[in-house]
Chain A
Amino acid sequence: GAGVSQSPSNKVTEKGKDVELRCDPISGHTALYWYRQSLGQGLEFLIYFQGNSAPDKSGLPSDRFSAERTGGSVSTLTIQRTQQEDSAVYLCASSVLAGGAKTQYFGPGTRLLVL
């Protein structure tokens, strides 16, 4: 099972609740990326990790969004006090190295619906 995995596949939550989305990258991939795809929008970059550090958090839409990565592997994206506009598909991708032209491999995504 060598691909990027994400959980849960689908999440329905009530406005104001916190949610955690998980990403398991491909083993050995040092770079990890989070994206968001809202209905009718293109993919939007959220945050990038190299190892456990996040040199670029510029895409996080608000301070309600945070992410961490531990052990250079699993990453968690947390959305606090969810709003309806947070409803989207959240995609995670990993690549072998951060620099150079390296293909990003995407996970299946988590579809988040905030009621």
Chain B
Amino acid sequence: EDKVVQSPLSLVVHEGDTVTLNCSYEVTNFRSLLWYKQEKKAPTFLFMLTSSGIEKKSGRLSSILDKKELSSILNITATQTGDSAIYLCVVELNSGYSTLTFGKGTMLLVSP
């Protein structure tokens, strides 16, 4: 059975801290790994990772994939209260169409 495991499940930090969110996966027919940020209801897309060892960066957020270790990390530097959200790690399978397997998410709370 395909599965995606995220850790920690929840995290509380102070503004300005740096956080690292972890994701590991066991799936058949891996195509890509995606990170989403979920505030309120709709997840919003952050990164798509397909190649191992290549960091993707967007402002204070960055992410990297390790296909050997079947894992990925999402880093957020200089956290702000607006970063408070659930961060979802999602693996896309090579199924002929875009089949997604979701982790349960890491709930991040950034306190002022």
Residues of A within 8 A of B (CB): 4, 31, 33, 35, 41-45, 48, 50, 55-56, 89, 91, 95, 98-109, 111
A40 CB, min distance to chain B CBs, angstroms: 8
Cα distance, A111 to B42, chains bound together (Å): 11
Cross-chain contact A105 with B45 (CB below 8 angstroms): yes
Instruction: Report chain B residues within 8 Å CB of A107.
Output: 42
Which residues of B are found within 8 Å of A4, using beta-carbon distances?
Answer: 42
Residue contact A106 to B43, C-beta cutoff 8 Å: yes
B32 contacts which chain A residues (CB < 8 A)? 101
Q: Residue of A at shortest CB range from B96?
A: A99
Give chain B nearest CB distance to A60 CB in angstroms.
15
Distance to closest chain A CB from B79 (angstroms): 24
Partner of A45, one of B34, B45, B100: B100
Q: List 24 A-B contacts (CB under 8 A).
A: A31-B97, A33-B100, A42-B4, A42-B88, A42-B102, A42-B103, A43-B43, A45-B100, A48-B97, A55-B97, A56-B97, A95-B98, A98-B97, A99-B97, A99-B98, A101-B48, A103-B34, A104-B45, A106-B42, A106-B43, A108-B40, A108-B41, A108-B42, A109-B42
* Contact between A106 and B96, CB atoms less than 8 A apart: no
For the complex, is B20 an interface residue (Cβ under 8 Å from A)? no
Which residues of chain B come closer than 8 Å to A109, judged between CB atoms? Answer: 41-42
Give chain A residues whose Cβ lies under 8 Å from the Cβ of B104. 41-42
Q: Which of A31, A35, A104, A111 has the most chain B CB atoms closer than 10 A to its own CB?
A: A104
Q: Say yes or no: is B50 at the interface (Cβ < 8 Å to chain A).
A: yes
Chain B residues within an 8 Å CB radius of A100: 98
Task: Give A31 to B92 CA distance when docked, in angstroms.
Answer: 15
| Residue with the greatest number of chain B CB neighbours at <10 A, chosen from A44, A95, A101, A102 | A101
- What A residues does B41 contact at CB under 8 A? 89, 91, 108-109, 111
Q: In the assembled complex, which residues on chain B have CB atoms less than 8 Å from the CB atom of A95?
A: 98
Shortest beta-carbon distance from B30 to chain A in Å? 11
Alpha-carbon gap, A33 to B88, bound state (A): 17
Query: Given contacts A101-B31, A108-B42, could you give 12 more A-B pairs where the C-beta distance is less than 8 Å?
Result: A35-B102, A41-B104, A42-B4, A43-B88, A43-B100, A45-B101, A48-B99, A55-B97, A56-B97, A104-B100, A107-B42, A108-B40
